[in-house]
Amino acid sequence: MSLPPKRPSDSYTEMTQVVLPNDANPLGFILGGTVMHLIDIAGAIACHRHTRTLLVTAAVDGLQFLHPIKIGDLIILQATVTAAYATSIEVEVKVFSEETLTGTRKMTSLAYLTFVAIDSQFKRIGIPPLQLVTDEEKRKAWEADARREARLAAKQKFRASAGALA
């Protein structure tokens, strides 16, 4: 069964919420774990929009925390699918802070996540291909291929070293 391709824009997701004291550390900045949780949710929503299947998170690549987000600021997450493979999919999630009183927005994090599409029996299933039209979409997919190659090599190395420890 051939699934019709979808554009990256079909998966676009934006989430916004205010950073509250319960989300923060004693310094008044959002907890890194909270940011990671929100990244996973935004990424999953974008991937669900592309696949319309059940998904599990398989990997997170390149997460950096560039700037802190203060209590009272908004956290904004923007997610878009960058590449689709036979049963897995990569999504880019950009994180921004926005000062509520000035509207000043700053990118605070960038992450790439890989999700795997599964059925109700937890078996991998096929997903729609990604229809790349613009040069930017093609560049992002090419970069995703390079990240995937590195991730699969690292996974193989990890499995080999984990097997040696068993």
Report residue 123 CA to chain centroid gap.
22
Q: What is the pTM of this model?
A: 0.93
With respect to residue 12, please indicate whether it lies within any of the assigned structural domains: yes
Q: How many residues does the chain have?
A: 166
CATH code, 94: 3.10.129.10
With respect to residue 1, please indicate whether it lies within any of the assigned structural domains: no
Range of the domain at 98: 8-165
Q: Which two tokens stand for residue 79?
A: 């997610």
With respect to residue 153, please indicate whether it lies within any of the assigned structural domains: yes
Q: E strands of 7-48, at which residues? A: 13-18
Structurally, the chain folds into a number of domains equal to 1
With respect to residue 2, please indicate whether it lies within any of the assigned structural domains: no
Tens digits of pLDDT across the chain (166 residues): 578 999 999 999 999 999 999 999 999 999 999 999 999 999 999 999 999 999 999 999 889 899 999 999 999 999 999 999 999 999 999 999 999 999 999 999 999 999 999 999 999 999 999 999 999 999 999 999 999 999 999 888 888 887 776 6
With respect to residue 120, please indicate whether it lies within any of the assigned structural domains: yes
Q: Are the C-beta atoms of residues 64 and 123 closer than 8 Å to each other?
A: no
